[in-house]
Amino acid sequence: MARHSLIELDSVIAIMRKGSFRAAAIELGMSTTALSNAVGKLEHQLGVRLFNRTTRSVSLTDAGRHFVGKVGPALQDIHEAMDAARSQQETPSGTLRINAFATAAREILAQLVLPFLRRYPQVHVDLVTEGRLVDIVADGFDIGIRHVDLVPSDMIAVPLGRCRRYAVVASPAYFGQRDKPQVPPDLLTHPCIRVRLPNGALYRWQFEKDGRQAQIDVDGPITLDEASLARIAVLDGFGIGFFMESDIQEDVAAGRLVRVLEDWTPPLSSLCLYYPSRRNPSAAFRAFLDHARDFAASTVATRETG
């Protein structure tokens, strides 16, 4: 009798859910070739094709739909039993998958994630950044990190307590040749580094002061979709940039960048860690939540005494 491994069955379910071999391979942490070989081996043992494959799409065959309908619930029960066993671990280990916006990941990596890994070296964190808001359950993530107003209502949220602000900056050399903007509309007379959002739209810079709001559609010599690239252009004197404060605070402190319009960039909503209700969380999951709560409490205490 042929024996089928969990990875072969997980591969079929992941492909069905993600709609492509490549996306399923990324979710499972394996190569597309290894994933294809696992499915091919299973199909050979079963004697049927589970997927219709074309260069543009992947879909279940009739046999595949019947197979997934029978295997899917049983496989979920198996994984729940494994999670229940792992929850009895005393030492946190295994992999935690976290999804976040790139800006959020940069904010929490050094102060939250890396200290956790130093404390629990048997845990592996798979941190995935992307601009779109994903369904962390459907996409196989344990935890999401977003600002509070983007957390789905059916999720459990843990505010991380960090004070977050935007910052408008340029190089000292740039301001050595031009007047500093005093109010947001002044930016229309300056070359600015434009920001393209993940959906392709150009970002309009957001400002607020004393209840007054402004959205400025800036113009400039270059459009970029990554803060690290925009920082390079601003440091090189190409114009004014708009960043999360955490991305450029060291440059401001060192005098490499000069901040303007600070009174027009009030505090933003805080970041939140969020997750679905879980019956049998792993030791690694519980440890990360405890670590995040301690981090949030220490951040709030530091802000109140600072």
Q: Which carries the bigger pLDDT value, residue 255 or residue 28?
A: 255
For the chain, what percent of residues have pLDDT higher than 70? Answer: 93
Q: Which carries the bigger pLDDT value, residue 306 or residue 26?
A: 26
Topology agreement, domain 6-84 and domain 166-264: no
The alpha carbon dihedral of 219, 223, 228, 233 has a sign of: negative
Q: Which CATH number fits domain 166-264: 3.40.190.290, 3.30.1330.10, 3.40.309.10, 3.30.1360.170?
A: 3.40.190.290
Three-class SS state of 251? helix
Q: Provide the pLDDT for residue 305.
A: 53
Q: Which carries the bigger pLDDT value, residue 133 or residue 210?
A: 210
Q: How confident is the model at residue 250 (pLDDT cuts 50, 70, 90)?
A: very high
If you compute the radius of gyration of the chain from its CA atoms, what whole number of angstroms results? 24
The fold for domain 94-159+269-305 equals D-Maltodextrin-Binding Protein; domain 2 (3.40.190)
Q: How confident is the model at residue 218 (pLDDT cuts 50, 70, 90)?
A: very high
Question: Which of 278, 262, 250, 246 shows the shortest CA–CA distance to 180?
Answer: 262
Please state which CATH class domain 6-84 belongs to.
Answer: mainly alpha
Q: Which carries the bigger pLDDT value, residue 223 or residue 24?
A: 223
How many Å apart are CA 298 and CA 116, to the nearest integer?
15
Q: How confident is the model at residue 1 (pLDDT cuts 50, 70, 90)?
A: very low
Q: Provide the pLDDT for residue 283.
A: 87
The answer for residues whose C-beta is within 8 angstroms of residue 223's C-beta and 6 or more apart is 193, 194, 195, 196, 202
The alpha carbon dihedral of 106, 226, 274, 15 has a sign of: negative
Give me the phi and psi of 243, to 5 degrees please: -135, 165
Q: Tell if the pTM clears 0.85, that is, is over it.
A: no
Q: Provide the pLDDT for residue 68.
A: 86
Which one-letter amino acid corresponds to residue 169? V
Domains of the chain, residue spans: 6-84, 94-159+269-305, 166-264
pLDDT tens digits, one per residue of 74-107: 888 787 777 666 666 668 888 999 999 888 898 8
Q: How confident is the model at residue 303 (pLDDT cuts 50, 70, 90)?
A: low
pLDDT tens digits, one per residue of 156-196: 999 887 678 999 999 999 999 899 999 999 999 999 999 88
Per the structure block, which two tokens stand in for 232? 């390079």
Question: Which of 148, 150, 152, 214 shows the shortest CA–CA distance to 181?
Answer: 214
